[in-house]
Amino acid sequence: MATALISHPACRLHEMGPAHPECPRRLDVISDQLQSLGVLDFLIHHEAPAASREQLLRVHTPQYLDWLDSMVPESGLADIDLDTKMNEKTLVAASFAAGAAIIGTDLVIGQQADNAFCNIRPPGHHATASQAMGFCFYNNIAVGAAHALEAHKLERIAILDFDVHHGNGTDVIFQSDERVLVCSLFQRDLYPFSGGDAHKAGGIDVPWPAGSSGEGMHNAVQDAWLPAINDFRPEMVFVSAGFDAHAADGISDLKFSDRDFHWLSGFAKSAAAEHANGRLVSTLEGGYELDSLARCAAAHVRVLAGI
């Protein structure tokens, strides 16, 4: 077996304007970096299916899905919030992004891949059960985790989120579900201005101060996340992999390095190896400075693949 790389061409059809940082090129630079490093030949390639309405309803309300459908413009862009827009292909792209998390879950649980990385967009971790926000429409990682719980009958899922923005949608969706442990690392007092409870129902937050490098972050994550993960003993690990805490990424005020993302990737893989027979599915969230995104996402995949 090997690491599965999952994507779909339709994920490039969603656009929010020529100057918007969440752009189709994000997927291309990751693929190009993996190609230039000679990594692609060592991966199992899969094209994502579209998530069904039934699969989306595990984490989103029917009223919300209907509202999204009603907002699709015939042409141009429809405003969802100040920085989130839809074009006529947005929900097509989003359905394949969510579907990638589903097929990744199936492949890993079915022992057809050791683990999986979903090179997808739009991202998902800000989407709540009933609200699109922060560039997100369907909560991809939540859809994948719910699929593991409902279709595969797993009983304990850990979600590790190291995007620079708190994954408020994932938190809200699973806040009352004792089967899910959500561990989050993010910049304190940054959009969406949520999170920050060191020990909360359903998870562990590590808010990191603005302006900080990754120095000390490794110990903070080990001290906060690892005991909770060890106590919880997840049967599968999901990762919301955002690379926008990098020093080169102007969307945040953290100063993480390539090495920090390599370490976070290794932490997630080790947690899966320790408790979940290595079962891990990772989905792309943020990361908007294209050079650092390409390097760090490729490093993430290389750690997962062990190459």
Two tokens at 196? Answer: 């920050």
How many CB atoms lie under 10 A from the CB of residue 186?
28
Tokens of 241: 């992999």
Residue 262 is a catalytic residue? no
Beta strands in 122-254 (DSSP E): 157-161, 180-187, 199-200, 203-208, 236-241
What percent of the residues of the chain are helix, what percent strand, and what percent coil, each to the nearest 5?
Answer: 40, 20, 40
CA–CA dist 295, 275 (Å, integer):
28
Report the distance separating Cα 264 and Cα 124, nearest Å. 20
Query: Which amino acid, residue 256?
Result: F
In three-state secondary structure terms, 81 is: strand
What's the start-to-end Cα distance of the chain, in Å? Answer: 13
242: Cα separation from own chain's centroid = 7
Looking at 8, 126, 246, 300, which residue is catalytic?
126
Residues with catalytic annotation?
126
